[in-house]
Amino acid sequence: MKRQKSTLTQRDKYLQKKFEITEAEYDEQLKKQGGGCKICGKPPTGKALHVDHDHAVERQKVYSKKSPVGGWSAWAGDGTQYFTTAALKSVAISRIRKCLKKLSVRGILCWKCNTSLKKFNDNPVLMQNSAVYILSYLQKMKNGRNGFE
């Protein structure tokens, strides 16, 4: 029996494996963002923009339990948001993992913005403090002073 050749592109395969999104969903999100990075607006130049995702969501602990009527239940977190059942334990857990991967996607970013978030450990307080710091410095520069005054 001859195996059917996949019509998926390499990019599509990568996006589905890594983030559980399709290339069409990526393109649609990029269009919603105005065709560029969600933070700075920079359009892609030669290379595709990065899919930004929340590692904490993706890495949530997945729980499973054998059902008294047969099959398996699996869930993440408190079980109210992500819950599934399946005949096999591995299938139930796999479904939750796929759901978490897709839910972890936040947007599409350029390399600089994506790595900046990582360097700030996704901490909005640190990002806000850095914005205040830069704005304060710029105000001092307007008045002919430096940051040490």
pLDDT of 5 reads 64
Structure confidence at residue 47 (pLDDT):
82
In a domain, 61, yes or no: yes
- Is this prediction's pTM over 0.85? no
The answer to whether 125 and 119 are in contact (CB under 8 A) is no
The DSSP bridge partners found for residue 86 are 72
- Is 116 among the domain residues? yes
What is the percent of the chain with per-residue pLDDT over 90, rounded to a whole number? 70
Domain span including residue 30:
10-120
Q: Is residue 99 part of a domain?
A: yes
Number of domains observed in the structure of the chain: 1
On whether residue 2 sits in a domain, the answer given is: no
- Cβ contact 84:75 at 8 Å: yes
3 has pLDDT over 90: no
In a domain, 85, yes or no: yes
Q: Is residue 135 part of a domain?
A: no
| Domain-embedded: residue 136 | no
Give Rg (Cα) of the chain.
22
Per-residue model confidence as pLDDT tens digits over 91-100? 999 999 999 9
Is residue 134 assigned to a domain?
no
Beta-strand runs (E) in 58-101: 62-66, 72-76, 82-86
